Amino acid sequence: MVFSYVSDLEQIRPYEQRKGVEHISYRLFFIPIVWKVRYAQVKERRQTSEGPLRVGTTFLQITTMPSGISFETALEITAYEPPSIIVLKRPIPPNEVIYVFEPVHGGTKLTKTVKIAGGCYTLTRPFFAPLMKEQAKADLGWLKEILEAQPETDAC
Please state the domain extents for the chain. 2-148
CA-to-CA distance for 155 and 153, rounded, in angstroms?
Answer: 6
**Is the confidence at residue 61, as pLDDT, over 50?**
yes
Residues 105-117: what's their mean pLDDT? 82
Secondary structure class of 152 (helix, strand, coil): coil
CATH of domain 2-148: 3.30.530
116-147 per-position pLDDT tens digit: 776 666 666 666 677 677 777 777 777 777 77
